[in-house]
């Protein structure tokens, strides 16, 4: 449904009412187990569809109302932050424990961020910048926005810069040549080896100037890794 917070007459009609009824029945039959319903949805063929498309399919159903492909969506802030920590090798995957008030200074999963209705924490600045719902009001779903401040965060945030430096260090382990290091960085960040064109672009960028910091700024290897962390392939679910 397009209006997740309004199931009444003023809300949108469901696109697949019979599927909605079937899921409601399955929920009751499973003893109201949300996990069981989640499992059925995640294991369905529809959920596991690829996001690739053809001009003919786009022309027939541009809004994907018939669910013929997976909608390509940007990672939420929790997943993006955790992914940056994971690929840089600094994620603290400890289960349980106290909540974290400042996500900028912590390496625990974002699910452990402290969220208060009446107190604004340092974590709120990061979460709200990337469409985290306001905990002080009701919200039926997140509204995805694209604003300049988000890109400025990816370029200038000490948190992102630290992850880029850590990723650059990881990419250098066990590699003997720039091409091996580029391939290692790509495999760590996006889970695949670079194409010949990507490898050539990386070599041109990294080979033009010695790997050193200029006036205290990021080295060229660190800039390359920062670009990977902010790339569409890293930010979007395929």
Write out the DSSP string of 31-79: TS-HHHHHHHHHTSTTTT------HHHHHH-TT-TT--S----BPPHHH
pLDDT at 23 exceeding the cut of 70: yes
Q: How confident is the model at residue 141 (pLDDT cuts 50, 70, 90)?
A: confident
Residue 72 has pLDDT above 70, yes or no: yes
DSSP state of 118: S
Q: By the 8 A CB rule, do 107 and 92 touch? A: yes
Over residues 151-167, the pLDDT tens digits come to: 898 888 999 999 999 99
Percent of the chain with pLDDT over 70: 95
Average pLDDT of the chain is: 87
Residue 80 · residue 130 · CB < 8 Å: yes
Check residue 125 and give its pLDDT: 81
Cα radius of gyration (the chain)? 21
Tell me the pTM. 0.79
Element (H, E) at 87: helix 77-87
More confident residue, 12 or 181: 181
pLDDT above 80 for 41: yes
Give 174-205 pLDDT, tens digit per residue.
Answer: 887 889 999 999 999 999 999 999 999 998 88
pLDDT at 215: 47
Are the beta carbons of 108 and 94 closer than 8 angstroms? yes
């Amino acid at each position: 449904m397009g209006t997740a917070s309004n199931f009444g007459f003023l809300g949108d009609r469901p696109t697949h009412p019979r599927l909605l009824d079937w899921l409601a029945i399955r929920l009751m039959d499973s003893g109201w187990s949300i996990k069981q319903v989640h499992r059925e949805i995640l294991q369905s063929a529809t959920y596991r569809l690829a996001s690739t498309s053809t001009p003919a399919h786009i022309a027939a159903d541009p809004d994907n109302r018939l669910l013929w492909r997976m909608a390509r969506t940007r990672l939420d802030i929790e997943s993006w932050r955790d992914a940056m920590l994971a690929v840089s090798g600094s994620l603290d995957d400890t289960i349980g424990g106290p909540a974290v008030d400042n996500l900028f200074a912590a390496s625990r999963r974002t699910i452990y961020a402290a969220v208060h209705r009446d107190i604004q924490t340092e974590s709120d600045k990061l979460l709200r910048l990337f469409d985290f719902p306001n905990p002080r009001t009701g919200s039926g779903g997140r509204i995805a926005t694209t604003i300049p401040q988000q890109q400025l965060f990816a370029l200038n945030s000490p948190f992102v810069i630290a992850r880029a430096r850590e990723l650059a260090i990881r990419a250098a382990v066990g590699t003997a040549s720039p091409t091996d290091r580029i391939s290692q960085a790509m495999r760590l960040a996006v889970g695949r080896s670079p194409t010949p064109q990507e490898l050539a672009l990386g070599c041109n960028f990294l080979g033009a100037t010695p790997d050193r910091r200029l006036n205290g700024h990021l080295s060229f290897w660190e800039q390359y890794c920062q670009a990977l962390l902010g790339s569409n392939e890293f930010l979007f679910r395929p």
